[in-house]
Each structure stands twice: as structure tokens, then as C-alpha cells.
Structure 1
């Protein structure tokens, strides 16, 4: 086999592959064997039909077509490896020339990763918020904990701010009750903001059995984003009673004996959360600064696929779970379709660029992923997915997504390497020394969040080359005409 590579542009090549006929013999033998198992010919046992009879009854062209479709993936992969190409996606294959008994010539156009010149990244400097936990932060945290231990008592009075009410709701649009616009027995804390805008004003002052009507924009359902007339009936009014903030509460709500110990623990937890948020912010800002230093041509077909994937994930998965369609979502976001398209395209470009740059860093720094690192990452991903580690691991293995997880960890390590070389300063002018565990975990999260959705797993080494290319024109017609 001979192959030649022609560079069409920085992100696309054309392979020309020439295969001597004798190198097709294993595929021809396999084609006869496969056809033998599929056909029945009178006078011959199944699987024992001679090749000449198959040629006579079914045509030599059918055999050649089967043989070439079997051989193409191997010769394409060999050509990719010979050219040391980093291919992306499926190739467009065309059988340029083929006569029975003669050389097979085909071309394959495919996207490739562009060559990337990584900049010096040790001069990057970013500013992040300082980690500061105030007494007010601790008070708010304690109040949230206190609220979880509140008791409610039914009262015979008008509803007031902070009360818990049980409501029946009915939504009408253009005078018609929506099919999904009726809800009964909804428990709601007045002032929490967890229901429709205007509901607080409508129910405050109503006793059990009272009703009111107000107008509000629906947040979800079949009429999301539209204005509706809402009728609300109050069936129960309950008063929340909060426990006293004393040592007895500390013992009830935690493993601590005193409020002093509980407040100290709350402060420590808040500091940890803000330190993690600080690390995440640093990772994101360093990544953005790094991307600004690199110019990368993006493969057109890959960008098209990335945009398509992002739109599909949002419109058919995320919005569906929220009970929204695209028009309703855009109305809530106060965006036009043009603004939405531009936003998705910008995110897609950043995703591909992020993946290319971090993968290049992985190669340059010769970063590897240990079994322990992979296991820790798997545990975190399982926790965020709501699955047990065993269930998540099984799903990953069965879905062939282990290389994708390895890639996520490696890219996270690459980003952490850049952050370590960068200068991170907080808003007080103090240089920040990020916690190593927070830095690594945040780096993995930021790298995964910003990476390409369409090619996260596809671009792992060798995976694209192993996919079977499909010819634009089948060779059977040529073989029958010329053979």
C-alpha cells in the first residue's frame, strides 16, 4: 500500500491511497465466506458454494463491493498512521479508480487537529475575590440551619410574610384554563420567591378559604413565557416557629455541644466553600487568559457539529426537563434567536479551542493519569450525577467512555499546571496560594465545563481512525462495468 497526504488547509487533508490487488485477497476471501453464509444455492450445502458459482449467480461485483467495504477501514487507518495524522471525525471517501484484478485507488478527505504553537504561560496574572467570611455570613448560615428545624402550626388568622400556606392554583391564558395549569395542595412559604411573581402580594392578608386573582408570566409548562391570569385559593395558613439559638439547638442540629462550636464550624465550612469558589474562579480566568494568547484555526465541519450538539443538548434535554421550549426560554432570557445563535457559536468556538489547547499541553508536559486519579474523578462525577460509584462506573464502561474520563482528568491536570505557573492575586492585593486539592478538583471541573461537547471523547488517540469510513460511491458498479 502507498499513501500520500495533501494539505487542503490548516485543518483538513486529503489522503490518496493506492492498494495493490493482491493486498485485497484477505478481504476477498472474507467476502466469499460472508456471502456463503447468507445465500442458498440448489445442489450445494450452505457455506459450501464455490467462489465461481457465487460469481455466476450473484455477480463478481457484489463480492468486490463487500471486500472493499471490509478493506477500506484498515487501509484508511494504515494511511492515517503512516502520515502521523491527528484526525477528527469521519472521512469523506471516494473510490477514484478500481478495475477487477487491478490496483484500488481511493481518496479520503478528513479534518485534522491544527498545529498549535503554545505560548509562554508563566506570565499570566489574574485577580480573584479575597476569601472573607463575615459575621453576617455566619448568621445567615445559622438561620438557614435554624429554618430546617422549624415547626409549623395551623392558625386561624390572615396569612403574613414568612407564613406557610397551602394553595390551589389555576392558570388561564386568553380566558382558557391550561391543561397543565391546575395545581392543588401546593405548600409555599410566603416570601421565599419559589412560586410565581405576584403570589406573595395576592395571598398576604387572606385567611383559609380566601381567594385572589393576579396576573403573572408563567415560568414553565406549555405556555412558558406567556402572561396568565392566576386564581389562587388559600386552604391552610400555618405559622412557622423557629427554635431558640442556644446550646440545646446546637446539640439538636449538629454534633456540637455549644452554639460557639457550631458557629465556629459554620465559619470553617463557609471558608472552605469560598476557597473552592476562589480556586474555580482562578482556573476560569487563567484559562481565558491562556486562550487569548493562542490563535487556532477551527475545522469548519467540527464547528458545525459542535454548534449542532450544543443546541440539541439544550433544546431537547435541558429545556425539556424544565418544561420549556426554545421560544419560551428565549423570552425568559430576553434574547432573540440571532443573539442565541451567536452565543452558541461563541461557546462552541471556545469549547473546541479549550480542548485543543489543553490536549496540546497534556502532550507537551507529558502528563499521565494514574488509576487513583481516575478513580477519584469517577467518584466526583458519580456524586454529581446522583448515581452510586458502582452504577456510574458500569455505565461508563458499557458506554465505552473511559477514554473520555481519562481525557477530562488529563486536561484538568494541564490547566492546573498553567495555574501553578500563573500569578493569582486577590482583591486585597495578596498573592493567593491555592489549596492543592481545591486546585485540582476545580481545574477538572472548569476544563470539563469549557471543553467541546461534540468531540470530548472522539479525539482520544486512535479512536477516529478506527471508525469505518464510508465510500461516496460504491465500487460494485465500477467492478461490474469494467471487470
Structure 2
């Protein structure tokens, strides 16, 4: 893509771009893929999204239908080419149609992301809960593990089968005269109330005694009205009781042979819990640092930037409502009504913008830089399971500048935490005291544990 840049008198930047024919085709393919995903169209192996849309939806001119979206997908490539980060996504302008296999000329009027400086870059003071792993929590985890390895053995009790009982049963199940081998069994443990079978099956078993045999008809959920029902014949062979293995070295040898006894298993569980708590503490530190930075931000944010962020948040809210099966009106009502939702949206927009601009200022002020590892870490925020894939997708979509922005802000946020003074809060302190300490960026004498500040120089962004 060829891109020329011109700075305008009002502070905007005008980009004139010419996309090559291959780039135009790529944008049309991306737009078709996005449309297919939105419409739930899944291409078969060896077929493109456009072909699947034509076959499954009957759309003949897929390029024409997704052309407007493809034009917008070209804009990030022009921005990335000039290494520009916009305050909000610019609109693509062109006087010519977008055609596959043909070059395409377009222009963008870009509002550059504003640059702010902070009045105070001094170290932050964060209040975080001490990492403690209660032995009760370890005991509970061990008990759950033992329960998951429980077995069922014959019981000496004699009574009718109840809704919380277990029994060994035989089951002959047929449909339309043919045996259902997946259900039929000569002897299998059945635990009442676990949902192993529909509730109607349990209803039939309640009250049966050992040796009783019963035949009945069963309808499975989702069966069509015309389908043959399932004919069942059940015999109770024995009552059973749950036997949970003792938590000792033998338990470990049987189920965790790589561990050297129960003490080693307990230690591994405690280490795992501690690691999770430390991760939670670090995430809390990042959130506090970002929030304190945004409180130090004093710059004026342009109305058009606010509106663009509000529009983005509104789109996300519509998607969230759709995912929850709600109308947007119902979603707003669940958030406290239209007025409260609008106020919340406005505050969220300012918080996100102020936090981002403050972290940008920290990144510049401290002369930080990002590495390939930082970019991969940023991609992991988007897709923890496949950060390399997320990075590749961002770059292939021309969103390299957006990925770099995420990485830079993440680097600045980590810098703030690394150079902050950390005051430890006793996790068992009253909630109100903990919240007050966190809001003040410090700990209360009653609520604080022995504290070891994580030293340094730092910066904040108010």
C-alpha cells in the first residue's frame, strides 16, 4: 500500500492511500469472513467464506454486499504504514467503487491520539491483601479430591430406594424393538439425583427394593413427538454406599504416583493456591495503579473522542445484551434504567480514556520501550490460549499499531506497580477498612500486616 501524509492546519492528518489489488482482495475476504461469522455461516473444508455465503444464504454478489466493510478494513493498513495511532477510527473516503483484483484509492482524515503530560510522576502507593493460604482451604481441596475418587460398594442396609441413594442396577433398554446398547447394562452403579438420567427415570426407581424388577416407558428430552419411546426394564441388584478413600500416602500412591506421599500433595496444592492468589494480587495492583494514574490525569478530552469511545462502549453493550438473549431496553433496565446506564457509560468512557492517556504519558516520560516479548504479552491479553495467533491476526488485519499501543500501556502499568510502595492489608480485616485503605493507596494500622515496600522510583499519573 502506498500512503502519503499531510498535516492540516487544524491538527488533523490527511492520508492519501492506494491499496494494491491483492490488498483489496484480502480486505474483501476478511469482510466476508466477518459477515459469515456474524450470520453463523460455517464454510466447508476447501471453500471460502464467500462461497459458503452464496451457497447457504443465496447471496450472489458477496463482494458488493461486504464492500463497505472491506473499505473500512483498509484504513488500519494505511495507519500502520505511517505508524499513526488515531484518537478514534477514521472513516474511509473514496469516489470510486471497491472491486476485487483492482487497485483502490482512498483517503482518511485522522485525528491523532492526543499527547498529555502529567503533573506528578512520583511513586504510587498501593494497598494490597497479604497472600495467605488458609490450611482450611487446602483441607477442603484435598477433601474434594478424595471425593472425586470415591467408589460405591455394597451396603448392608435394607430399605426402599430413596432419592439420595445409590444402587447397582441392571437395565434393558429398547426402542422400536431394538436394544439400545449405550443404555443397557447387566450391572452398573446408579446414583439417584445426579442427573445421569432424566428425572422421570428416578421417579420410577423410587421405592424399589433389592430384587424388585420394573418395566416402564421413558421419553428422553428433545425427542420428537413421533419418535418411538424407550422401553425400560430395571432390576435393583443391591443397595450401595459411597466410600471415600482415606487421605494418606496410599491414596497418593494410587492416584498421584508422581507425588511422594500426602505431605507432598498437600504442599503442591498449597503452592498452586498461593500462585493463584499472587496472580490475583498482581492484577489488583495493576488495576489500582491504572486507577490512580487516571486520577492524576487533568487534561481536556475532546468531545469527538468522548463520543467515539461512548459509541464503542454502546456497541459492546448491544452485543452483550444480544449474547444474554435480552432486548437492549431490558439490558438497560438490568443496569438500573436508561438514565443510570447513560451516566455509567459516560463515566466508563472517561475512566478508560484518562487511564489510557495517563499510561501513554508514563511510557513516554520514563522513556520505556517494548520488545517482541511485550507484544506477545499484549497478544496474550486478547487470546491467552493462542497469543501467537492473536498477534498474527492483528498484524494481518493492519492492527499492528493497536497491538503496540496495548503493549506500551501494559509496559507502563507494570512499571508503575514495580516502582510503587506496597502496603499489605490483612485479608481478614473488615471490608470497609480494606476498601478505605485501597482508596487511599495505603493501609490502616488495624488492617495492615507487616509490610515490605516493593521499592523504587515510580510514577503516577493523576
TM-score by length of 2: 0.52
Residue 189 and residue 136 in structure 1: after superposition, are their counterparts in 2 closer, same or farther (change >3 A)?
Answer: farther
- Residue number in structure 1 paired with 2:122: 122
What CA distance in whole angstroms lies between the structure 2 residues aligned with 1:327 and 1:380? 31
- Shift of residue 266 of structure 1? 1.0
> Where in structure 2 are the equivalents of 1:300-449 lying within 5 Å?
300-316=303-319, 318-329=320-331, 333=334, 335-378=336-379, 381-382=382-383, 384=384, 386=385, 388=386, 391-427=389-425, 428-432=448-452
Change (3 A) 1:417 1:3: closer
Question: Deviation digits for residues 13-68 of structure 1, max 9, x if unmatched?
Answer: 47899xxxxxx9xx9xxxxxxxxxxxxxxxxxxxxxxxxxxxxxxxxxxxxxxxxx
CA distance in 1 between partners of 2:272 and 2:302 (Å): 45
- 8 Å CA contact 1:153–1:238 kept in 2: the answer is yes
Secondary structure (helix, strand or coil) at the match of 2:132 reads: coil
Instruction: Map 1:251-266 onto structure 2 (within 5 A).
Output: 251-254=253-256, 255-266=258-269
Is the 2:359–2:413 Cα contact (8 Å) retained in structure 1?
yes
Among 158, 163, 173, which residue is 2:162 paired with? 158
Distance change (3 Å), C-alpha of 1:189 and 1:329: farther
Q: Tell me the SS of whatever aligns to 2:300.
A: coil
| Matching residue of 1:139 | 139
TM-score by structure 1 length? 0.50
User: Cα deviation per residue 1:204-244 (whole Å; 9 max; x = unaligned)?
Assistant: xx85567xxxxxxxxxxxxxxxxxxxxxxxx9999765433
How many residue pairs get aligned? The number is 299
Contact 2:290 2:359 in 1 (8 A): no
Closer, same or farther in 2 for the Cα pair 1:273/1:87, shift >3 Å? closer
**Contact residue 14 and residue 110 of structure 2 kept, 8 A:** no
Instruction: Report 1 or 2 for greater relative contact order, CA contacts < 8 Å, sequence distance ≥ 6.
Output: 1
CA deviations on 1:336-372 (whole Å, 9 max, x unpaired) are: 2322222222112111112211122222222211123
What's 2:99 paired with?
Answer: none
**What's the offset of the Cα at 1:263?**
0.7
- 1:265/1:363 Cα in 2 relative to 1: closer, same or farther (>3 Å)? same
Flag the 1:280–1:162 CA change in 2: closer, same or farther, 3 A. farther
Query: In 2, Cα distance between the equivalents of 1:3 and 1:307?
Result: 27
| SS of corresponding position for 2:116 | coil
1:452-471 matched pairs, under 5 angstroms: none
Contact 2:115 2:361 in 1 (8 A): no
Cα RMSD (Å):
4.9
Q: Distance in 2 between matches of 1:16 and 1:371?
A: 30
Deviation at 1:414, TM superposition (A): 0.6
Shift of 1:330: 5.2
The 8 Å contact of residues 131 and 274 in structure 2, kept in 1 or not, is answered as: yes
Partner of 1:5: 9
Q: Measure the CA separation in 2 of the matches of 1:373 and 1:160.
A: 54
Q: Please state how far the C-alpha of 1:146 moved relative to its aligned partner.
A: 3.2
- Structure 1 residue 315: deviation in Å? 2.5
Between the aligned partners of 1:92 and 1:411, the Cα distance in structure 2 is 27
